[in-house]
Each structure stands twice: as structure tokens, then as C-alpha cells.
Amino acid sequence: MPELNSRQLVSQLPPLQAIRVFEAVARHLSFTKAAQELGMTQAAASYQIKLLEERIGAPLFLRQPKQIVLTEPGQRLAPAVSEAFALLSGAYAAARTGADGVLCVSTLLTFASNWLAQHLGSFQVAHPSLAVRVDTSNRVVDFAREDIDIAIRSGGGNWPGVETHMLFRADFTPVLSPKLAASIGGVNEPADLLRLPILDPGDIWWRDWFAAAGLPVAELAKRTGTSMGAQAYEANAAIAGHGVAIVTKALFKTELADGRLIQPFDLVGDDGHAYWLVYPTARRNVPKIRAFRDWILNEIACQ
């Protein structure tokens, strides 16, 4: 069979605008939301889908009351279209920025303040032409819609469309200040924690750790406490002597090493989560992403 040249291949492709609209409608399963995202009317979006369906010779969506669903041809087409757009985006980014420019990293506040800020200097020395912008947030970023190159997430590591590299386990254990421990003559057994204030007693980590330590989980429901939303804040409160925090030990090595915090027990909880480096699969070969990936994996391995 003779090979097709580029002109022949392009002539067989449907209109790019129709493909663009299809990708958005398939992702949202809504003509209204897709039209809003693309800055067009719902009628215009519907027209583009009609053109594509006529070109293919089959319906791509079933219009049902209050919703639409992909037909079988639509289900076959949608992932291929999404992958094509992702590959195009990655190729464009690689051609545009190379290993220079700005690298946007999205990460959790505690990871940013207690790990990244303490190590990032060595990356900047190795890559002086690459500026790093850190965005701290608990939300899961949408790489396709946001100006984020790479992210550090906490979770199970099962996210579609991204490459994942585990950095370290997100285990957890109680920590407190030496002064607070001394106030009750020392914390020698888990039951001693019941005599002290618990920071954020509603945290599920406390429930899991209490159960593993043989402490009454119901005791936590009797406690009142403020949820600060980040381990960094709760660890600072613990350093100030305001209570016992539950944190991931790997993020507080400095505070534990210099004695501002103590870990009274070896018992560590593990809910299966970890800290992961993630980035879009289609952009795995972008030089600045590859540079950051290689650096952070080496930095973690050397600890």
C-alpha cells in the first residue's frame, strides 16, 4: 500500500475547529460548558459537532434529558483526540522554552516551606537560566488549563494522563515540644497524650494513630481544636507548646534534629499515601521538566 504524503494526510483530517469543540464537549459532557470555555455560542458548538458527525458518518453524542453521553464512536474518538492535543501542547512547549525560561511548580504549603525551600538553591545553582515559580495550593491542578509545568501531590499516585514518581511516604506520627512533654513529667507511653492538648483532633490521621496505639478513638470526639489546614502551621503551634501535632516526619527533620520538636514514639501510621512528583505524560521530554525531575529525584535519594 503506498504511503500518503503530508498533504494527503491533512486532506483526510476533519476541520480542526470541529475537533477542538468535540474535545471540550466530550470532556465536559455539556455543550453549554464547552461553548463557554471556547468563547462561542452553544449553537456554534452544536454546529461544529454536526459537521464532524457528518464527516464521520455517525453520531458522536446521544442527547438525553438534562445530559448528553458519548456514543460508541464518540468513546473511541475522545481519548485519541485528548492525547493528540496533549502531545501537540507538549511539543509546542518544548520548542518554545527549551531548558530556559520559567518553571512553574505547584505544591502543598508544607512541602514548599519545609522541604522545597530548603533544597531549591542547589537546583538554581545548576540551572541559573531557569527561574522557578512556586504555587502553593491544596487543589489538584489541571495541567491542560493552567500555567503549571510540574506538581508535587499527596495521595495514592493513581492519576490519569500524568507521569508519577514517588518521593517519600506520607506517613504520620505525633510530635510535640520538649517543654510541653516536661510539663507532665515526660511522655513515656501513648496514654500520656490524653493528658495534653491535641492539635486538630478531627484529623483522620489522629484516629488511625490512636487505633494503632490502642488508645480510645472516641476520646478524640470529646476534644475541641482548631484545624489549621497545613502541617507546617500545626507544627509551629506544637513548637510553641500549644499541643501535640501529627505530621509526616520526613518534612520536619530539621525541627526534630535541633530539638524544637520531639517524636515520643516509634509508632508511625501509614494510610498508603505518599508524596509524588507529577507532570503531563505528553510533556515528559520538555527540557525544564526533565531537569527538575532529575534534580529532585537525586536530592531525595541522597537524603
Q: Is 6-94's fold the same as 173-257's?
A: no
Using alpha carbons, list the distances in angstroms from residue 115 to 107, 233, 247, 301.
11, 14, 14, 14
For residues 48-72, one letter each, b for 16 or more C-beta atoms within 10 angstroms of the residue's C-beta and e for the rest, the string is bbebbbeeeeeebbeeeeeebebee
Per-residue confidence of the chain (303 residues) as pLDDT tens digits? 344 444 544 456 778 888 889 999 999 999 989 888 888 898 999 999 999 998 888 999 998 888 899 999 999 998 888 888 777 766 666 555 544 588 999 999 999 999 999 999 999 999 998 999 999 988 888 887 788 999 999 999 888 889 999 999 999 999 999 999 999 999 999 999 999 999 999 999 999 999 999 999 999 998 887 788 899 999 999 999 999 999 999 999 999 999 999 999 999 999 999 999 999 988 888 899 999 999 999 999 987
Domain boundaries, the chain: 6-94, 98-170+273-301, 173-257
Please give the model's pTM, rounded to 2 decimal places: 0.68
Residue 178: all three cell numbers together: 520538649
Assigned CATH for 6-94: 1.10.10.10
Q: Which CATH architecture has domain 98-170+273-301?
A: 3-Layer(aba) Sandwich (3.40)
173-257 CATH fold:
D-Maltodextrin-Binding Protein; domain 2 (3.40.190)
The conformation of residue 191, written as its DSSP 8-state character, comes to G
